[in-house]
Amino acid sequence: MSVTACPGCATAPVSGPAGGRGAAQMEVPTHHLVLPGIHCAGCISAVESTLLKQPNINAARVNLTKRRVSIASEPGLDPTPWIAALSRAGFEAYEAGALEERQGDDLILPLGVAGFAMMNVMLLSVAVWSGAVDSTRDLFHWISAAIALPATAFAAQPFFRHAWSALRVGRLNMDVPISLAIILACGMSLYEVMHGGAHAWFDAALALTFFLLIGRVLDQRLRRRARSAADDLAALEPARVTRIEGADKISRPVAEIAVGDRLWITAGARVPVDAVLEDAETTVDCSFLTGESDPVTRTEGEPLHAGEVVLAGPLALRATAVGEDTTLRRIAQLVATAEVSRGHFRSLADRAAAIYTPAVHIISAGAFLGWLVATGDVRMALNVAIATLIITCPCALGLAVPAVAVAATSQLYRRGLLLTSDTALERLAGVDMVVFDKTGTLTERRLTVPPALSSEAQSVLRALSEASDHPLCRGIAAGLQDVSPAPLTDIREEMGEGVRATWRNSLVFLGRRTPTDATVVLRIDEDETVLPAVETLVPSAKDAVAGLRALGLKTAMLTGDTAENAERMAEEAGIDRVWSGERAEAKLDIIEGLKAEGERVLMVGDGLNDHAAINAADVSIAPGSALDATRNAADIIIVSGDMTQIPDAIRTCRLACRRMKQNFGIAAGYNSIAVPIAVLGFATPLAAAVAMSTSSITVVVNAIRGFRS
């Protein structure tokens, strides 16, 4: 969404990914480079095409959101020649981990300097505009020069650096006309002051720098990078594992494990590699793959997958797949590949910048040549060209998107939605189909109290449930508010098992029946009562689906649960279409298939098995209760947990896109009036500064209109 400097903006193809090897299915990446200066789809094509011309590179894919490029090559190769090639193409690049980008914060000081200097110079300019002449005017001009020249030289460095990075490789970008306007305005102002001229442009140069820095800061604040979902998945793999070596059990790095090795896993540990169970029986949490929270029983000879959690142990496994061949690594690679697909999204501002950049240069150059031919006065022609550059410089265009984005993002946050992606507004506004995960997203699992349970047993049940923070216990306690809790002693909670206590010299327990049986029971001495589990829609799910359908959107459910459960929940929620029994790879294929059919897909999910689908969708949302890794992968997080905020968010994003387009219209209307005035030589320094500032203020006012609530 940026209109900031990027060497690929004006000249590189912007229709999508680079062709050839870069557009094919991405191989396993061996190198990652940080690209702090990329901002648009043109940069993506330019970077990928540059790298694909280098020897030993099999594939290259850019992730615009993370500002990184993943390269598939031979492991261990020195990336220095690739970095040099990107530098020759005008792109700053560093090996990942060597130097991370620091953008946004480093613009605050230049912004403050520009604003402070602008206010002081404009105070001096008021005296000149009010009629100061001769030596008094010259004195004010010299004081203005003393303030403005060093302040501008410092504050405009971000524009100068990026303009030079493009010019030195023969490209243009938005910072080239900005830098030209600032340099020429300061240079001609100094020349006029030295020769006793009546006009100086210092205030205009500072105002231009100040307003553009505001837009740049707003834009960079929206580009705060979230951690990669693929990185979060990689973090699920244990660094070490216990290997059975004869009669000994030795801790070894996971990288040393080979197919056929026997491993010793304790309860609560994650399975480090794909393996088969050698013990008689165990239970595992496989929500990583299926999204379903109920534990699954595995018997001897059955497979266990990397990333699953062992609930009953210790136990022995035999490795069947290690390294990049494990289920966990394959899903992480799916996610990494899906992440880059949305990086090719081209924002409204990028499309406007591709037209605006050459137009500014052509108009200004035409004004200079026209006046030079008509008058033969180089000084006059140069002044007109400077006025044209200043009056057409993209202050309004630079604020058009960031100002709206900040206003819309702030309103969404007040409603309990947090945006983590800089292009989420535009992508969410364009969706026409919403795909939901089921368990944990649309539904919640609750334990029910049997009607025949005695009042004393209910009293004990409430006391035990209130002793734990487990979600199921909180649900029980909420349903027994009319029951007085029993006085318990010796209360203790055993992780993964349940809550134990003493009541009237009796041992009472609430939790799993056995380590291998996940049925939840209430036990008072030897008397055991099963608490049936039921799945229900979250309270806001039905209204959320109705709201989406009212907006004309199609809805679907994509779940790893059984067809019976999925169909029942979908019918209750009012969802149109259902896919059931699907694992992570299949979910990704379904989302890709919908996109191939022309659907613009919003994916709403909360589990690790939703990662690839979330990243492959055009835009994604995760509830606040989702796993950390899933929240990091999503574009929007529903902090409040209220699913009815989804249709509200889409309405807000549609309004935001209308405001962005209106702001582009304001900028175009401003230029249609201001450009002829400047080209015809009627723009004084005061007129240029006022016109530029007025257009910027108008854009900001329009941006916040309608977003206050």
Domain contains 232: no
Same domain, 25 and 97: yes
Q: Measure the CA–CA gap between 181 and 387, rounded to whole angstroms.
A: 8
Q: Measure the CA–CA gap between 128 and 148, rounded to whole angstroms.
A: 16
Asked which of 486-500, 568-582, 623-637 is least confident by mean pLDDT, the reply is 623-637
Domain contains 709: no
Q: Which residue segment(s) compose the domain that 554 sits in?
A: 417-441+538-641
Better-scored residue on pLDDT, 668 or 366: 366
> At which of 79, 101, 123 does a domain end?
101
What integer pLDDT is reported at residue 661 of this predicted model?
A: 83
Asked whether residue 488 carries a pLDDT value surpassing 80, the answer given is yes
Count how many residues are written for the chain: 709
Q: Measure the CA–CA gap between 518 and 521, rounded to whole angstroms.
A: 9
Which pairs count as long-range contacts for 380-385, CB under 8 Å and 24+ apart, including other chains?
A: 380/681, 382/184, 382/188, 383/188, 384/678, 384/679, 384/681, 384/683, 385/184
Same domain, 435 and 550: yes
How are strands ordered across the β-sheet holding 303-304? 248-253, 240-245, 262-265, 315-321, 274-277, 303-304
Same domain, 172 and 314: no
Better-scored residue on pLDDT, 26 or 253: 253
Same domain, 429 and 567: yes
What is the sign of the dihedral through the CA atoms of 640, 642, 643 and 647?
negative
Other C-beta atoms lying within 10 Å of the C-beta of residue 133: 9
Residue by residue, DSSP assigns 114-138 as: HHHHHHHHHHHHHHHHTT--HHHHH
Q: Measure the CA–CA gap between 276 and 299, rounded to whole angstroms.
A: 9
Domain contains 333: no
Helix (H) or strand (E) holding 94: strand 94-95
> What is the mean predicted confidence (pLDDT) over 551-558?
92
Same domain, 117 and 218: yes
Same domain, 57 and 165: no
CATH classification at residue 310: 2.70.150.10
> What is the mean predicted confidence (pLDDT) over 311-336?
77
Domain contains 689: yes
Q: For residue range 563-576, list pLDDT tens digits in order.
A: 888 898 999 999 98
- Residue 579, classed as helix, strand or coil, is strand
Contact 384, 681 (CB under 8 A): yes
Same domain, 137 and 253: no
What integer pLDDT is reported at residue 158 of this predicted model?
A: 84
> What is the mean predicted confidence (pLDDT) over 211-224?
64
Asked whether residue 502 carries a pLDDT value surpassing 90, the answer given is yes
Better-scored residue on pLDDT, 106 or 160: 160
* Mean pLDDT taken over the chain: 78
Q: Measure the CA–CA gap between 205 and 480, rounded to whole angstroms.
A: 69
- CA-nearest of 138, 65, 83 to 339 is 65
Q: For residue range 65-105, list pLDDT tens digits in order.
A: 567 788 888 877 778 888 888 888 878 787 765 444 444 45
Catalytic residue among 437, 610, 618, 635: 437
Same domain, 433 and 477: no
CATH classification at residue 29: 3.30.70.100
Of 48-62, 94-108, 644-658, 684-698, where does the model show the most confidence? 644-658
- CA-nearest of 348, 411, 402, 349 to 652 is 411
CATH classification at residue 421: 3.40.50.1000
Distances (CA, A) of 511 to 94, 440, 474, 515: 52, 21, 13, 10
What's 312's DSSP letter?
S
Distances (CA, A) of 468 to 34, 444, 482, 497: 45, 18, 19, 12
> At which of 485, 506, 531 does a domain end?
531
Portion of the chain with pLDDT greater than 90, in percent: 14
Domain contains 604: yes
Other C-beta atoms lying within 10 Å of the C-beta of residue 219: 26
> At which of 531, 562, 597 does a domain end?
531
- What's the token pair of residue 509? 């327990």
Asked whether residue 341 carries a pLDDT value surpassing 50, the answer given is no
Q: For residue range 137-194, list pLDDT tens digits in order.
A: 788 889 988 998 999 999 988 888 878 877 777 766 667 777 877 888 888 888 888 8
- What's the token pair of residue 664? 């582009």
Same domain, 605 and 572: yes
What integer pLDDT is reported at residue 19 of this predicted model?
A: 35
Place of tokens 């794909």: 274
Domain contains 12: no
Domain contains 561: yes
Whether 437 sits among the annotated catalytic residues: the reply is: yes
Same domain, 115 and 155: yes
- CA-nearest of 108, 200, 558 to 390 is 200
Same domain, 64 and 96: yes
Better-scored residue on pLDDT, 336 or 303: 303
Same domain, 599 and 565: yes
Number of domains the chain contains: 5
What's 197's DSSP letter?
-
Asked whether residue 494 carries a pLDDT value surpassing 50, the answer given is yes
Asked whether residue 498 carries a pLDDT value surpassing 60, the answer given is yes
Portion of the chain with pLDDT greater than 70, in percent: 77
What integer pLDDT is reported at residue 288 of this predicted model?
A: 57
Asked whether residue 250 carries a pLDDT value surpassing 50, the answer given is yes
Q: How confident is the model at residue 343 (pLDDT cuts 50, 70, 90)?
A: very low
Domain contains 506: yes
